[in-house]
């Protein structure tokens, strides 16, 4: 908030903590946000507007309902409502919204800072094998209501869509650090899901 020249908002901070502490969350928790913030800190100078990227990271999964398909849009709405309440300029609000919407991972991000945020969000794909296994286990737990065969097929399709991309990461530092291990993790996970 200070970096955006806005007043402190303990109420917003508590709302964020409450959201990321919801019982149905196993991966999309405060630990995920902490991981993302550490990853952003590991890449100083990459963001054109670091405060916007950080705010978008705080909000990008604030709404997480595994039964819903509009979590990112609702999360973006909350972030933008906060900025609008404080009179932040429309261009900045639009950028923060675009950053959050880019985490739908349905199309390449358009803005450079959105690309960085997506790289940060996807850095989990390139962690060591044990941490990646925990990630997959936690995602499965969030979708435990989905029958096993259906979950395995849909999850494999999602991971295959990532693997089919020419590159998983848009920025050189993240590509250098995570591209190879992420592809290894994805291939192993797909093999396990497909029962091959």
- Number of C-alpha atoms within 13 angstroms, CB side, residue 61? 21
Q: Are the beta carbons of 76 and 97 closer than 8 angstroms?
A: yes
CATH of domain 10-194: 1.10.3210
The rounded distance, in Å, linking the Cα atoms of 26 and 35 is 14
Instruction: Kindly calculate the radius of gyration of the chain based on its CA atoms and give it in whole angstroms.
Output: 17
User: Within its chain, how far is the Cα of 65 from the centroid?
Assistant: 14
What's 147's DSSP letter? Answer: -
What pTM was computed for the model?
0.95
Mean pLDDT of the chain: 96
Please report where in the chains the tokens 């995920």 appear, as a residue.
Answer: 32
Domain ranges of the chain: 10-194
What is the C-alpha separation between 53 and 157, in angstroms, rounded? 29
Tell me the pLDDT tens digit for each residue of 58-88: 999 999 999 999 999 999 999 999 999 999 9
In this predicted structure, what is the pLDDT of residue 175?
98
Rounded Cα distance between 164 and 161, Å, is 5
What whole-number distance in Å separates Cα of residue 98 and Cα of residue 73?
Answer: 10
Model confidence at 107, in pLDDT bands (50, 70, 90)? Answer: confident
Contact 53, 95 (CB under 8 A): no
pLDDT tens digits, 131-171: 999 999 999 999 999 999 999 999 999 999 999 999 999 99
196 pLDDT band, cuts 50/70/90, is low
- pLDDT above 90 covers what percent of the chain? 94
């Amino acid at each position: 908030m200070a970096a955006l020249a806005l007043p402190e908002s303990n109420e917003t901070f508590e709302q964020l903590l409450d959201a990321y502490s919801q019982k149905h969350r196993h991966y999309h928790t405060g630990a995920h946000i902490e991981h993302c913030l550490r990853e952003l800190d590991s890449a100083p100078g990459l963001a054109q507007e670091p405060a916007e990227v950080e705010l978008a990271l705080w909000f990008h999964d604030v709404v997480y309902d595994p039964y819903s398909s509009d979590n990112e849009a609702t999360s973006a709405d909350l972030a933008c409502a906060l900025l609008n309440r404080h009179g932040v300029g429309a261009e900045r609000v639009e950028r923060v919204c675009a950053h959050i919407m880019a985490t739908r991972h349905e199309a390449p991000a358009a803005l450079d800072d959105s690309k960085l945020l997506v790289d940060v969000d996807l850095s989990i794909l390139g962690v060591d094998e044990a941490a990646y296994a925990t990630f997959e286990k936690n995602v499965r737990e969030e979708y435990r209501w989905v029958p096993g065969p259906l979950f395995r097929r849909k999850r494999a399709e999602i991971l295959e869509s990532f693997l089919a991309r020419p590159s998983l990461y848009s920025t050189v530092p993240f590509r250098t650090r995570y591209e190879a291990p992420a592809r290894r993790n994805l291939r192993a996970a797909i093999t396990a899901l497909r029962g091959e």
